Structure 1
Amino acid sequence: MKYPTPHIIMEGNTKFTLGSIQRNKILYDFDKILLYLNAKGKLMFGETFKLYDEDRDTLFKLCNYFIRDEANCKKLNIDVNKGILLSGPVGCGKTSLMKLLRHIVPYQKPYKMIPARNVVFGFNHIGYKTIEDYGNGQYFCFDDLGIEPIGRHYGKDCNVIGEILLSRHDLFLKHHVKTHGTTNLNAKELEDKYGNRVRSRMRELFNLVAFERDSRDKRN
């Protein structure tokens, strides 16, 4: 499917212009992107949805990553070829943003949002085929990494997400397949959960984008 005007997005009868095209290149306007995200967020999550000024720096990083603004990403120390690991306190809006941001680039390959705990429940039910199922060319965003239980199938324990992240790392190196994630945990907690080997692969797999530690709980 071709997008002759990828910077223009229609939501019902409303047109959102996220920037302009100059010399066959889109020049995005960050404030116009935020206007669209606010409107799309209300459609997806209800009228109470809003973006917060205190999160502007985090949003700026994420938007530049998704629109693949390589100049800004270089300044922000973000590699556009890697995935995003979005971290922050409970309720700060990580999951909503990862569901929302993919809509500003409808021409890019989409990713599926998958709760990490659901992957483990699948493993407990059908076993190692679950790990194989996530070792394919699809793009995924694993939600709430690190707080899922250990998998158990026929009496054998397995760190299911850890194994999947190793597989996804191989896919990234060989086929440039992206993986995203969200987490409430810090680097040490992730290492305690998955081990040093997986944590090392996660550094190669993800750009870390973090909310401030004192970010408010938007669900209150």
Structure 2
Amino acid sequence: MTNPSKIIEGGVEYSLGDFDGTTVHYDFNRILIYLDAKGKLLFGNHFKIYKADRPVLRKLCAYTIRDALTCKRFGIDPEKGLLINGPVGCGKTSLMKLLPHLFPGRRHYEMIPSRNVVFSFNHIGYKTIEDYGNSGYFCFDDLGAEPIGSYYGKDCNVLGEVLLSRYELYLASKGRIKTHATTNLNAKELEERYGDRVRSRMRVLFNLVGFPKQAVDKRI
């Protein structure tokens, strides 16, 4: 029987917890050891798990492994997506790229830079909103930093329209198709960027998990 608590990376076996034959009992400290090793493989030897980021990581890991008790303790709804916010360079994107590796066989979201969605809209128009809004599993990276779209001289808040469509998709799929995003903006700034209608939909779509304002820039 395959042991889902074991993952092999670079010829090294990592244990994420204990498997009793039916259930994996995850161990957060063992998960951190694996994530640190996998992060180095993905991003280079400069990558590391910072002690100050562990409270955020505990929430993200609980969500990813669907630990209902821990999610409840942190006010996280496993049926919603994740909206990760924090200062520039704090590691939001890296973590969202890293977390799916805890479940190698599961279907995962595709990381999409928000600006690329706008660039696509500028090129092919409203089909872009259909492509990203009506299907698929996506994490929109750097939400709020993208420019306003323009197609044949008509401006469009592209990601705002995509999020409205993703909200309808979420409801239609009964929460099966989730949306994730990373952003440098806080709730007030997101509302200013997209309007109160989109912001209200975002409350339904997302769990907000924030890095502290003083989180260091790991890219320096």
TM-score range, shorter chain: over 0.9
User: Aligned pair in 2 of structure 1 residues 134, 217: CA closer, same or farther (>3 Å)?
Assistant: same
2:219 partner amino acid? R
SS of 1:134 mapped into structure 2 = helix
SS of 1:15 mapped into structure 2 = strand
Instruction: Find the counterpart in structure 2 of residue 49 from structure 1.
Output: 47
Q: Distance in 2 between matches of 1:38 and 1:168?
A: 32
Matches within 5 A, 1:95-114: 95-114=93-112
Instruction: Find the counterpart in structure 2 of residue 64 from structure 1.
Output: 62
Between 28-37 and 136-145, the greater mean CA deviation after superposition: 136-145
* CA positional deviation for 1:31: 0.5
Identity across matched positions, percent: 63
Q: Distance in 2 between matches of 1:108 and 1:79?
A: 19
2:22 partner amino acid? N
Q: Distance in 2 between matches of 1:6 and 1:147?
A: 38
Number of residue pairs matched?
218
**TM-score normalised by length of structure 2:** 0.96
Instruction: Find the counterpart in structure 1 of residue 132 from structure 2.
Output: 134
Instruction: Find the counterpart in structure 2 of residue 179 from structure 1.
Output: 179
Instruction: Find the counterpart in structure 1 of residue 114 from structure 2.
Output: 116
1:96 partner amino acid? S
Structure 2, unpaired ranges of 5+:
none
Instruction: Find the counterpart in structure 2 of residue 9 from structure 1.
Output: 7
SS of 1:74 mapped into structure 2 = helix
- Spell out structure 1 runs of 4+ moving beyond 4 A: none
RMSD of the TM alignment (CA)? Answer: 1.1
Say if 1:137 and 1:171, in contact at 8 Å, map to a contact too: yes
Q: Distance in 2 between matches of 1:118 and 1:180?
A: 16
Instruction: Find the counterpart in structure 1 of residue 209 from structure 2.
Output: 209
Q: 1:87 aligns with which of 81, 85, 88?
A: 85
* CA positional deviation for 1:136: 3.5
Say if 1:6 and 1:107, in contact at 8 Å, map to a contact too: no
SS of 1:97 mapped into structure 2 = helix
* CA positional deviation for 1:23: 5.8
**TM-score normalised by length of structure 1:** 0.96
Q: Distance in 2 between matches of 1:6 and 1:201?
A: 35
Instruction: Find the counterpart in structure 2 of residue 28 from structure 1.
Output: 26
